Amino acid sequence: VHSIRDRALLILLYRTGMRIGELLQVKVDDIILSEQTILLYVGSKNYEGREVYYSSDAEQALKDWLRTRDKTKRYLFYGRSDQPLSYGSAWAVMRKALERAGLSDKGYSLHNLRHTFATDMINHGMRVEVLQKILGHQDIEMTMRYARLSNQRIEEDYYRAMRIITGEGESDAPYRRSTALQKVFEEKKLHKSYKKKLS
């Protein structure tokens, strides 16, 4: 993505998990640069007011855009007048990026960036209840729809856990045990101890 504005728009969606409708309503005054935080306010009945955070690469893209944008505009991303950028204009940004990447025929949408964010967070250890707050879901079942582990991640976690259970040692990669799995490990250790006492 070559445009400073377009890069900021897409990377903020991908790194924060915001809905496109939420991002388009963000005003410059809603951004707390010192804390890498954006304040979101209550929108429709399914939108919860909350804070969202952004990564260092999103921070750089945001700062680049803040330096070059029209300082008289209230909204972070604006149209021709002092109004938010339209959804159609935001989608045009995404469509051009997909075309450049050769992905225009894959059926991707702006919402896929939110889905990808959620899946990445879960796959790298974020708890579902934390992700629920970040995404602004009132019902955790909505979060679970996004939190789909990739088959590769499931396979990796299976063999990592199995090496521990069977006593073959833990892999070098960090492994965060779930409560249920921890119980399995403890039962396995107790089983070993019991066998030693009998022998």
Residue written as token pair 């939110």: 114
Q: Which of 5, 7, 15, 114 is catalytic?
A: 114
Q: Give me the amino acid identity at 192.
A: K
Q: Which of 5, 7, 15, 19 is catalytic?
A: 19
- Confirm whether 45 is a catalytic residue: yes
The torsion defined by the Cα of 95, 97, 98 and 100, in degrees rounded to 10, comes to 120
Q: Which of 45, 80, 196, 197 is catalytic?
A: 45
Q: Which of 74, 100, 111, 145 is catalytic?
A: 111
For residue 50, the number of C-alpha atoms closer than 13 Å in the C-beta half-sphere is 20
- Confirm whether 195 is a catalytic residue: no
Q: What is d(CA 135, CA 92) in angstroms, rounded to the nearest whole number?
A: 24
Kindly give the residue spans of alpha helices, DSSP state H, lying in 17-169.
20-24, 56-68, 87-100, 111-123, 128-135, 140-146, 151-165
- Confirm whether 27 is a catalytic residue: no
Q: What is d(CA 150, CA 148) in angstroms, rounded to the nearest whole number?
A: 6
Cβ neighbors of 189 (< 8 A, separation 6 or more) are none
- Confirm whether 2 is a catalytic residue: no
Closest among 199, 155, 154, 164 to 184, alpha carbons compared: 164
- Confirm whether 114 is a catalytic residue: yes
Q: Given 3-state DSSP classes, what are the helix, strand and coil percentages for the chain, each rounded to the nearest 5? A: 55, 5, 35
Q: Which of 5, 7, 15, 137 is catalytic?
A: 137
CB 86 within 8 A of CB 79: yes
- Confirm whether 73 is a catalytic residue: no
Q: Which residues are catalytic?
A: 19, 45, 111, 114, 137, 146
